[in-house]
C-alpha cells in the first residue's frame, strides 16, 4: 500500500528525526512511503485564526499533493485532525472541492493509530531504557480517538516502564498561536502540566504531537528538570541516538577531535 | 452588569498574579471533575442520556413559540402571570413594577444568572428596595460587592479565610471573638443572618432551571434549600428566566435533571429539586399569593437558526468551566461579565456584541475538553472558531496579527518559496542552538521564552534531507 507522508511543518523544520522515524515504522510494516515535495503546512494557523479563505487555499494545495495515495499519514494528531475533520467543513459549500476533501479525509490518519489500527503492528523490536509517561495531546485524543493505541505500542518496547499521569488528558497550553497570543495564561497551563509530569516520577515524556512536546520541554528545561522529551515515533522506531528535544548534541562525536 | 471584557488581558494578568485565587482554583481540579467522573462511572447510560437531553433541547428550540405559548396558557390557568420581556431593561421594569405594587421593601433572592445578566440587584437598590441573596455563595459575594466568578459556584474564587474576614467585617453585631475557622461555622452564621431576612421579605425572586410547557411549572434546583424559603414565604413569587429554559414535559424535565447535577457537581440529584406551579391553591398550607414569570429574550431569539443556535441548548451546568484549563488558570472574573469559561466565551459576544469581547473567543487552545463534557453536546470549540472567523472577516484583530497569518499562508501556498526561506533560517538556528540544544531567549519569540526555553531545531529540514538522499540513491 502507498502512504503519502505529511510530515507537518513543525517536524519538517524542527525535528526531522521524527520524520525519519515515521518512515522507518511505516516501511517496516510494509508500506511504500512517499514524501511529496509540495508540502508545507496544513493551514491550521490560518484556520484557527478565523482566516478561512487562506486556510482553504492551503488545503487545496495539500489535497492536490496527497490525492494519489492509498493513505495519508502524519506524525501529529493535530495536523491529521485538520485534514480529517476540518478540511471537509472548510469546503462544505464547494461542490467541486467537497468530495475531494471528504475523500482525502477518509484516507488520512495520525501515525500511532495508523500503526495500531490499520497496520496492526506487533513485535516492534524496539528497546528503551527508562520510565516514560505519555501525554495525550488534545487533537490526538479528542479529534482522532488516540488513547489506547500508543499504550499498546509502548507496551511492546523492551526495557520501558510506562507510568500514567492522572492529568494526561489535560491540555498543555500550547494551542498553536494561543501560546504566542496569551503567553502568560499558556505559561500557567504548561506549569501545571509540568507539575503533573514531574509527580509521575518518569524520566521520559512522550507524546504524538511536536507542538505540545516543544512547549512542555521548554518549560521543563526552564525549571531545570532533566526529564527527556521525545516524540513517540522516535522510541517506537528505536531511533533515540539523537539527543532528546532541547538537549545539546554533546553526545555526538566532537568534531574537533576528528580534525 | 457592566462588562469589563474589553480589559480581558489586564484582568487575566491580575488573576494570574493572585496567589489566593490560584489556591482557590486548584480546588477545582480535584473537586467537581473528579466527582463528575465517579458519578458517570456509576451510570452506564449516561451518554445515551446526553443524547436524549440534546434531542429534547433541539426539539424545543425548533418549536419554541409553540411551547412558550403553551407554558403561558398553563401558568394563567394556575393563576399566575407571564411577562414577556425583549430586553434587560424591560425585565427590570417589569420586576420593579411587581415589587412596587406589592409594597416591597425587602426582596429575597435565589441564585439566578439571569438576575445577574439584567443587573436586577442594582436596579432594586436604586429604587429603595433591598435585595438579599440567599444562596450562600451569592450572599458572600453580595457582601463583598463582587460579581459571581462561576455560574454554579459564584464564590469559588474565595478561600474560607477570606469569607471569614468578610463576615467579621460585615456582621458587626456579632461577637468579634467568635470562631469562624470551620466551614460549618460560616454556614451557621450566614443561616442565622438569612433566617431573619426570609421571614421579613415581601417578595421572593428566583431563577428557574427549567420551565415546563405541559404544566406551567418552573423547576428550582439547589443544594441549600434557600430557593424554597425564598419562594414559599413571601406573598409574591417572581421567577426570572430566559426563554430557552423551556422543556415540553415533566418527563423531559426529569431526563435533563439526570444529566444536570451529575455534570455540575457529580451528585446524582441536587439536594433540593422543587417544582412550583402557580400561586398557593385553596388547600395549600403555604406558598405565595402571586406567581409571576418574567420571560426574558435579551438576544436569544437572534441566535435561533444561526451559527450559535446550539448554544441555546445550554443548561448552565458549569461542567465546561470546571474542565477548562484556561478557566482554571484565570478564574471567572477575568472574563469580565456574568458568564465565564467556554460557554461564556461563546455566549457573551452573542449577548453584548463582539466589539468589546474580542479576546474571549481567542483565549482558548480549542482543546475540546468542554465539548467532551457538555451534557447537551454543544460544539463550543467550533463556535469559538466561528467568532474568530467573524473577527477576521470584519478586520477586528490587530493588523500585525493579520499580516503574520497572511504572510505564513502566502508562504505555505508556495512550497518552493517556503523551502527557499525556511531552509536557511533553520540552518542558522540549528547551528546557533547546537551547543546548548535550546535557546533561553529568541528575538520575536519573547512571549514564549519569557517562561520557556525554545528547543533548537536539528538544522536541516526533513523534506530537503529526504529528497537529497533520494537523489543520491538515484545516482548510485
Ligand atoms: S455549555 Fe454545556 S457544559 Fe457548559 S454550562 Fe452549558 S450545558 Fe454545561
For each successive 10 residues of chain A (259 residues), what is the average pLDDT?
Answer: 97 98 97 97 96 98 97 98 98 97 98 97 93 97 96 96 96 95 96 97 98 98 97 97 90 42
How many percent of chain B have pLDDT more than 70? 99
Is there a single domain that holds both residue B326 and residue B268?
no
Question: In whole angstroms, what is the distance from residue B312 CA to residue B378 CA?
Answer: 9
CA distance A247 to chain B (A): 4
CA-based radius of gyration for chain B: 27
> Are residues A174 and B365, on separate chains, in Cβ contact within 8 Å?
yes
> Are residues A217 and B418, on separate chains, in Cβ contact within 8 Å?
no
Is there a single domain that holds both residue B385 and residue B461?
no
Q: Is B195 helix (H, G, I), strand (E, B) or coil?
A: helix
> Are residues B413 and A38, on separate chains, in Cβ contact within 8 Å?
no
Within a domain: B177: no
Instruction: Report the residue of B22, B452, B473 to disrupt the A interface, i.e. the one with the largest count of A CBs within 10 Å.
Output: B452
Is there a single domain that holds both residue B264 and residue B341?
no
CB of A251 within 8 Å of any CB in chain B?
A: no
Question: In whole angstroms, what is the distance from residue B424 CA to residue B437 CA?
Answer: 18
CA distance A169 to chain B (A): 9
> Are residues A35 and B466, on separate chains, in Cβ contact within 8 Å?
yes
Within a domain: B168: no
> What domain range is B269 assigned to?
47-155+185-300
Is there a single domain that holds both residue B253 and residue B335?
no
Q: Which residues of A touch B307 (CB under 8 A)?
A: none
Q: Give the Å distance between the CA of B371 and the centre of ligand 1.
A: 8
Rounded to 5°, angle at Cα B239 from B234 and B245: 155
Within a domain: B175: no
The closest alpha carbon to B329, from B10, B22, B18, B105, belongs to B22
C-alpha cell at B449: 521564552
Is there a single domain that holds both residue B279 and residue B362?
no
CATH number for the domain formed by residue range(s) A123-236: 3.40.50.11810
Is there a single domain that holds both residue B25 and residue B66?
no
Give chain B's domain count.
3
Domain ends where: B352, B371, B398? B398
| Alpha helices (H) along B233-340 | 250-264, 300-303, 319-322, 325-330
Question: In whole angstroms, what is the distance from residue A250 CA to residue B433 CA?
Answer: 12
Question: In whole angstroms, what is the distance from residue B265 CA to residue A151 CA?
Answer: 31
- State residue A257's pLDDT score: 38
Is there a single domain that holds both residue B368 and residue B284?
no
Report the relative pairing of strands A2-5 and A71-74 from DSSP bridges.
Answer: parallel
CA distance B325 to chain A (A): 7
CB nearest A13 (choices: B434, B453, B461): B461
Question: Which of B317, B326, B364 for a ligand 1 pocket mutation test, highest count of atoms within 8 Å of Cβ?
Answer: B317
Within a domain: B355: yes
Question: In whole angstroms, what is the distance from residue B261 CA to residue B269 CA?
Answer: 5
Contact A101, A88 (CB under 8 A): yes
Is there a single domain that holds both residue B323 and residue B471?
no
CB of A151 within 8 Å of any CB in chain B?
A: no
Contact B300, B344 (CB under 8 A): no
pLDDT tens digits for range B159-211? 999 999 999 999 999 998 899 999 999 999 999 999 989 999 999 999 999 99
- Residue count of chain B, please give it: 476
Torsion over CA: A55, A57, A61, A66 (sign): positive
Is there a single domain that holds both residue B196 and residue B255?
yes
Is there a single domain that holds both residue B260 and residue B388?
no
Q: Which atom of ligand 1 lies at the shortest distance from residue B380's CA?
A: 1
CB of B409 within 8 Å of any CB in chain A?
A: yes
Q: Give the Å distance between the CA of B36 and the centre of ligand 1.
A: 14
Domain ends where: B247, B272, B300? B300
CA distance A167 to chain B (A): 9
Q: Which residues of A touch B369 (CB under 8 A)?
A: 138, 142, 169-171
Q: Is B71 helix (H, G, I), strand (E, B) or coil?
A: helix
What is chain B's pLDDT, residue by residue, as a tens digit (476 residues)? 788 999 999 999 999 999 999 999 988 777 999 999 999 999 999 999 999 999 999 999 999 999 999 999 999 999 999 999 999 999 999 999 999 999 999 999 999 999 999 999 999 999 999 999 999 999 999 999 999 999 999 999 999 999 999 999 999 999 988 999 999 999 999 999 999 899 999 999 999 999 999 999 999 999 999 999 999 999 999 999 999 999 999 999 999 999 999 999 999 999 999 999 999 999 998 899 999 999 999 999 999 999 999 999 999 999 999 999 999 999 999 999 999 999 999 999 999 999 999 999 999 999 999 999 999 999 999 999 999 999 999 999 999 999 999 999 999 999 999 999 999 999 999 999 999 999 999 887 888 999 999 999 999 999 999 999 999 887 54
Residue pairs spanning A and B at CB distance below 8 A: 207
Is there a single domain that holds both residue B236 and residue B109?
yes
Q: Which fold has domain A2-117?
A: Rossmann fold (3.40.50)
The closest alpha carbon to A190, from B325, B25, B447, B321, belongs to B325
Residues 414-453, chain B, touching A (beta carbon < 8 A): 415, 418, 422, 426, 434-438, 440, 445, 447-448, 450-453
- State residue B196's pLDDT score: 87
What is the CB-side half-sphere exposure of residue B385 using CA atoms within 13 A? 20
Output phi, psi for B129, to 5 deg: -110, 135
Is there a single domain that holds both residue B217 and residue B112?
yes
Question: Which of B36, B315, B377 for a ligand 1 pocket mutation test, highest count of atoms within 8 Å of Cβ?
Answer: B315
- Grid cell 495515495 in the structure block, residue: A69
> Are residues B367 and A19, on separate chains, in Cβ contact within 8 Å?
no
Output phi, psi for B96, to 5 deg: -60, -40
Q: Which residues in B279-310 are b (16+ Cβ under 10 Å) and which e?
A: bbeeeeeebbebbbbbbbbbbbeebeeeebeb
Other CB atoms within 10 A of residue A169 CB? 17
| Closest residue to atom 8 of ligand 1, CA basis | B317
The closest alpha carbon to B402, from A39, A90, A173, A181, belongs to A181
- Give the single-character DSSP code of B457: P
C-alpha cell at A136: 495525550
Beta bridge partners of A110: A74
Domain ends where: B270, B300, B330? B300
CA distance A87 to chain B (A): 13
Question: In whole angstroms, what is the distance from residue B473 CA to residue B476 CA?
Answer: 5
* CATH 3.40.50.11810 boundaries in chain A: 123-236
Question: In whole angstroms, what is the distance from residue A66 CA to residue A79 CA?
Answer: 14
The conformational region for residue A8 under phi > 0 = left, psi -120 to 50 = alpha, else beta, is left
Residues 316-335, chain B, touching A (beta carbon < 8 A): 325-326, 328-330
Within a domain: B79: yes
Q: What share of chain B is helix, strand, coil (3-state, %, to 5)?
A: 55, 10, 35
Amino acid at each position: 500500500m502507498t502512504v503519502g507522508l505529511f510530515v507537518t511543518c513543525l517536524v519538517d523544520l524542527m525535528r526531522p528525526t521524527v520524520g525519519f522515524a515515521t518512515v522507518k515504522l511505516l516501511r517496516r510494516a510494509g508500506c511504500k512511503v512517499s514524501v511529496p515535495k509540495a508540502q508545507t503546512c496544513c493551514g491550521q494557523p490560518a484556520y484557527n485564526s478565523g482566516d478561512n479563505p487562506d486556510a482553504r487555499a492551503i488545503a487545496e494545495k495539500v489535497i492536490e499533493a496527497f490525492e494519489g495515495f492509498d493513505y495519508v499519514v502524519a506524525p501529529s494528531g493535530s495536523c491529521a485532525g485538520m485534514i480529517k475533520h476540518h478540511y471537509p467543513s472548510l469546503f462544505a459549500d464547494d461542490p467541486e472541492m467537497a468530495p475531494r476533501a471528504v475523500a482525502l479525509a477518509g484516507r488520512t490518519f495520525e501515525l500511532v493509530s495508523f500503526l495500531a489500527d490499520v497496520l496492526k503492528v506487533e513485535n516492534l523490536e524496539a528497546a528503551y531504557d527508562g520510565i516514560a509517561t505519555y501525554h495525550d495531546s488534545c487533537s490526538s485524543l479528542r479529534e482522532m480517538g488516540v488513547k489506547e493505541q500508543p499504550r499498546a505500542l509502548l507496551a511492546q518496547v523492551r526495557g520501558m516502564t510506562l507510568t500514567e499521569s492522572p492529568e494526561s488528558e489535560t491540555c498543555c497550553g500550547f494551542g498553536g498561536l494561543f501560546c504566542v497570543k496569551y503567553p502568560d495564561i499558556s505559561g500557567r497551563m504548561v506549569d501545571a502540566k509540568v507539575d503533573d509530569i514531574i509527580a509521575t516520577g518518569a524520566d521520559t515524556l512522550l507524546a504524538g504531537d511536536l507542538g505540545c512536546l516543544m512547549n512542555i520541554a521548554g518549560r521543563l528545561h526552564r525549571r531545570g528538570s532533566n526529564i527527556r522529551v521525545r516524540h513517540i515515533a522516535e522510541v517506537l522506531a528505536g531511533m533515540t541516538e539523537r539527543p532528546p528535544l532541547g538537549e545539546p548534541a554533546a553526545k555526538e562525536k566532537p568534531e574537533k577531535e576528528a580534525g | 452588569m457592566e462588562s469589563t471584557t474589553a480589559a480581558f488581558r489586564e484582568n487575566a494578568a491580575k488573576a494570574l498574579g493572585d496567589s489566593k485565587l490560584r489556591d482557590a482554583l486548584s480546588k477545582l481540579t480535584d473537586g467537581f471533575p473528579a466527582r463528575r467522573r465517579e458519578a458517570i462511572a456509576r451510570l452506564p447510560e449516561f451518554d445515551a442520556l446526553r443524547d436524549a437531553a440534546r434531542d429534547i433541547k433541539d426539539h424545543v428550540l425548533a418549536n419554541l413559540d409553540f411551547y412558550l405559548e403553551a407554558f403561558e396558557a398553563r401558568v394563567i390557568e394556575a393563576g399566575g402571570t407571564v411577562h414577556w420581556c425583549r430586553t434587560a431593561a424591560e425585565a427590570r421594569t417589569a420586576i420593579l413594577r411587581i415589587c412596587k405594587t406589592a409594597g416591597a421593601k425587602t426582596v429575597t433572592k435565589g441564585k439566578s444568572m439571569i438576575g445577574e445578566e439584567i443587573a436586577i440587584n442594582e436596579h432594586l437598590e436604586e429604587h429603595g428596595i433591598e435585595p438579599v441573596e440567599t444562596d450562600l455563595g451569592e450572599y458572600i459575594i453580595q457582601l463583598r460587592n463582587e460579581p459571581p466568578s462561576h455560574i454554579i459556584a459564584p464564590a469559588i474564587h474565595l478561600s474560607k479565610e477570606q469569607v471569614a474576614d468578610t463576615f467579621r467585617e460585615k456582621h458587626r453585631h456579632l461577637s468579634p471573638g467568635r470562631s469562624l475557622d470551620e466551614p460549618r461555622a460560616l454556614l451557621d452564621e450566614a443561616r442565622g443572618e438569612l433566617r431573619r431576612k426570609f421571614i421579613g421579605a415581601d417578595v421572593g425572586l428566583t431563577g428557574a432551571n427549567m420551565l415546563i410547557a405541559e404544566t406551567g411549572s418552573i423547576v428550582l434546583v439547589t443544594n441549600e434549600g434557600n430557593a424554597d424559603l425564598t419562594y414559599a414565604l413571601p406573598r409574591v413569587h417572581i421567577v426570572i428566566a430566559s426563554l430557552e429554559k423551556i422543556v415540553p414535559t415533566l418527563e423531559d424535565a426529569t431526563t435533563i435533571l439526570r444529566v444536570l447535577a451529575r455534570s455540575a457537581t457529580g451528585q446524582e440529584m441536587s439536594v433540593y429539586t422543587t417544582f412550583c406551579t402557580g400561586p398557593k391553591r385553596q388547600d395549600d398550607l403555604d406558598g405565595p399569593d402571586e406567581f409571576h414569570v418574567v420571560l426574558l429574550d435579551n438576544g436569544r431569539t437572534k441566535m435561533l437558526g444561526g451559527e450559535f443556535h446550539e448554544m441555546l441548548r445550554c443548561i448552565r451546568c458549569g461542567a465546561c468551566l470546571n474542565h477548562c484549563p484556561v478557566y482554571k488558570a484565570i478564574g471567572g472574573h477575568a472574563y469580565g461579565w456574568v458568564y465565564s469559561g467556554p460557554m461564556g466565551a461563546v455566549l457573551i459576544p452573542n449577548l453584548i456584541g463582539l466589539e468589546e469581547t474580542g479576546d474571549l473567543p481567542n483565549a482558548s487552545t480549542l482543546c475540546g475538553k468542554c465539548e467532551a463534557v457538555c451534557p447537551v453536546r454543544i460544539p463550543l470549540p467550533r463556535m469559538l472558531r466561528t467568532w474568530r472567523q467573524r473577527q477576521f472577516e470584519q478586520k477586528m484583530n490587530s493588523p500585525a496579527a493579520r499580516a503574520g497569518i497572511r504572510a505564513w499562508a502566502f508562504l505555505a501556498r508556495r512550497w518552493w518559496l517556503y523551502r527557499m526561506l525556511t531552509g536557511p533560517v533553520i540552518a542558522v538556528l540549528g547551528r546557533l542552538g547546537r551547543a546548548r540544544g535550546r535557546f533561553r531567549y529568541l528575538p520575536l519569540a519573547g512571549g514564549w521564552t519569557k517562561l520557556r526555553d525554545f528547543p533548537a531545531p536539528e538544522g536541516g529540514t526533513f523534506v530537503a534531507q529526504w529528497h537529497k538522499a533520494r537523489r543520491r540513491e538515484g545516482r548510485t
